[in-house]
Chains A and B, each alone.
Chain A
Amino acid sequence: MSRRRSTATDATLRYLPVLVAATAFALPLAWVVVTSLKKQSEFGSSLLPAAPQLANYQLALSLLDFMKFATNSLVLSSSYALIVVMVSALVGYGFARHRAPGRGRLFMLVLATLMVPNLVLFVPQFVIFAKLGLTNTYWPWILWALGGSPFAIFLFRQFFATFPRELDDAAEVDGAGPLRIFFQIYLPSAAPALAASAIFMFLWVWGDYLYPILLLNGDNTTLAVKMSSAYVDPRGNPLQTVTMAGVVLYVLPLIAFFAAANRFIVRGIVTTGLKG
């Protein structure tokens, strides 16, 4: 009897804090969904919608050309992620597996750039992009991607450094060049690290607000910029409910994706050796 009670208290002790925390974390998100289902007249007057208004979602898609800006975001984010991950993996492989004078110092330089606040670099970059006529195009993102990301380079360097030396030797004896070794041996075995960093790079562009608002305008801007202002009715009154429906549509693909990839991401971070 007493043993049974102690397991019951034990279970409460185990579950209560995590349940409370999860509720606190999920509540603001749940409120967005609840609000997105209300009639505009119910906003501020009743706690829950009398009947779920799925029409808000149709309005969110049609009041602005949602799909066009979603496509812009998708194109920009995925091309950035794809290029930056490939380049960073290649550079990380170079740092991890090839020795040359100056390597150590150059790697310190990679890490040092991580310390520089983004805006310090961005302001002069902005001036350069403006002078070269690259504002209002996607070129800044492509150029950033082609130079690799210091963070991802660091991750891939750590990851590839753990590979056994015999691997390169065997491949070299077989006459494979460094690029072939990279593409045929290193890249395939780096799938979790590649996926994890690609996800983060994608997410960074998909969610970034600052650079698109400064570098793009009008039709080629991203969903993040479009979602930063509220939907309004024809008279200019804000439609909070439709705006929340838009926010859900903006975030939902990411949530579905992360819910599916949850375990994978944790493993990716472990294998890429973040814990140093």
Chain B
Amino acid sequence: MEGVHRMTGAAQVLDRPVARVAPWRRRGLRRAVTFYLLISPWLIGFVLLAAIPLVMAFLMSLSNYDGLNLEYVQFVGLENYLRAFTDPDAQHALGRTLLLMAVVVPFSLALQLALALLVNQRIRFTSLFRTIFYLPYVIPVVAAAWVWKIFVDPTGGLLNALLGVAGAAVNVRWLVEYPTVVLALLTIWGAAGGGMVVFLAGLQGIPAEYREAAMIDGANRLQVTRHITLPLLSPVIFFNLVTGIIATLQILVQPMLLAPGILGLSPGTVPPRDNYLYAVHAYLEIFVKQLFGYGSALLWLLFGVVLALTLVLFKTSRRWVFYGIEP
């Protein structure tokens, strides 16, 4: 990547003196037109499906829009934003979301890395193991919710049966008593394969000679992992950390799908209080209570939290992310 940038940079420098020649300028213009024509689908899509909606979302967040009646719309200034800071539900939801993130993200990263190291060994059936770890990642969220609902079912679930064999309490109503545990398990289980594959790609980009050289110098496996593999993987760790945090902060449908109840769910199912996450709160305010204005303000605040956390991570990344060697 680095090399490509340097090359294009050199090409720009070389182009410049020639730029005075008229045929080139015509060619340059033609090139520019070609570029804009090629990217036009995205550009038009960006304006219509991102730029205009973003402006609308911002205007909505400053209004009392209910999603239906444009004639009653009033500009309410920052009222929605101020309200978010005094809304006990929003605060509760933010707290639960940050807690879930603090538990799920570190655990997920460690597990994903461990799985990648495990399936990167020279062992048999690696492709079978990789498939098993990867499967939950490709399973649709609705199916994944069923998998866990049935697994932790008080009477028909395997978890209580296993606990019963181990001599523990047998009739735990997991989705009622420990909903966040189930949500965390579902999230970690579902995300593991995706992160593992990215780590695996990173591991396979590390030349074997580095590890072999350290082994010859007398380092043991643990030392090689700690001092060779981990630093070289730090860009990948960083990538998985950032994407993991962004994804966890936006968790929305899983808590609603995991709401206790045997008949599945309807849109607008309110999850148990413990699983009442921030995005769920915004969703319910908008699509159930029709508070498009207030809900939009909540979502902009979520965006702000996502941006702030990402920026902080990028700032600290200079200290621990190692970009020294081109893999």
Q: Which of A14, A123, A178, A203 has the most chain B CB atoms inside 10 A of its CB?
A: A123
Which residues 91-109 of A have a CB within 8 angstroms of B? 91, 93-95, 98-101, 103, 106, 109
Known: A147-B48, A209-B141. A22 touches B42 (CB 8 A): no
Q: How far is the CB of B212 from chain A (nearest CB, A)?
A: 18
Q: A147–B130 contact, CB under 8 A? A: no
How distant is the Cα of A61 from the Cα of B127 in the complex, in angstroms? 32
Known: A100-B31, A116-B303, A153-B42. A26 touches B265 (CB 8 A): no
How distant is the Cα of A225 from the Cα of B202 in the complex, in angstroms? 36
Interface presence of A210 (CB below 8 A): yes
Q: B56–A127 contact, CB under 8 A? A: yes
Residues of A within 8 A of B296 (CB): 120, 123-124
Interface presence of B4 (CB below 8 A): yes
Our pick among A206, A232, A247, A263 for the contact of B146 (Cβ within 8 Å) is A247
Chain B facing A: main interface SS: helix
Interface presence of A175 (CB below 8 A): no
Q: How far is the CB of A192 from chain B (nearest CB, A)?
A: 13
Residues of A within 8 A of B146 (CB): 32, 227, 243-244, 247
Q: A228–B54 contact, CB under 8 A? A: no
Name which of B17-25, B74-82, B94-102, B147-155 contacts chain A.
B147-155
Our pick among A106, A209, A265, A276 for the contact of B39 (Cβ within 8 Å) is A106
Residues of A within 8 A of B327 (CB): 275
Q: How far is the CB of B10 from chain A (nearest CB, A)?
A: 11
Our pick among A29, A35, A98, A266 for the contact of B197 (Cβ within 8 Å) is A266
How distant is the Cα of A237 from the Cα of B202 in the complex, in angstroms? 50
How distant is the Cα of A265 from the Cα of B198 in the complex, in angstroms? 11
Interface presence of B107 (CB below 8 A): no
How distant is the Cα of A263 from the Cα of B135 in the complex, in angstroms? 13
User: Contact flags (1/0) for B22-36 with A, using CB distance below 8 Å?
Assistant: 000000000110111
Q: A44–B153 contact, CB under 8 A? A: yes
How distant is the Cα of A41 from the Cα of B204 in the complex, in angstroms? 50
Our pick among B34, B54, B257 for the contact of A121 (Cβ within 8 Å) is B54
Q: B121–A228 contact, CB under 8 A? A: no
How distant is the Cα of A69 from the Cα of B263 in the complex, in angstroms? 19
How distant is the Cα of A263 from the Cα of B119 in the complex, in angstroms? 13
Q: A119–B60 contact, CB under 8 A? A: no
Interface presence of A218 (CB below 8 A): no
Interface presence of B136 (CB below 8 A): yes
How distant is the Cα of A113 from the Cα of B52 in the complex, in angstroms? 13
User: Contact flags (1/0) for B289-327 with A, using CB distance below 8 Å?
Assistant: 000100110011011001100100000000000000001
Q: B140–A209 contact, CB under 8 A? A: yes
22 intermolecular pairs with C-beta atoms under 8 Å apart: A21-B114, A29-B139, A88-B42, A99-B12, A110-B42, A115-B306, A116-B50, A120-B300, A127-B56, A147-B49, A153-B42, A158-B1, A161-B1, A182-B38, A207-B139, A209-B141, A225-B142, A227-B146, A244-B150, A250-B140, A269-B198, A276-B235
Q: Which residues of B contact A (CB under 8 A)?
A: 1, 4, 8, 12, 31-32, 34-39, 41-46, 48-50, 52-54, 56-57, 60, 67, 114-115, 118-119, 121, 123, 127, 129-136, 138-143, 145-148, 150-151, 153, 155-158, 161, 189, 192, 197-198, 200-202, 204-205, 235-236, 239, 246, 249-250, 252-253, 257, 262-267, 279, 282-283, 286-287, 292, 295-296, 299-300, 302-303, 306-307, 310, 327
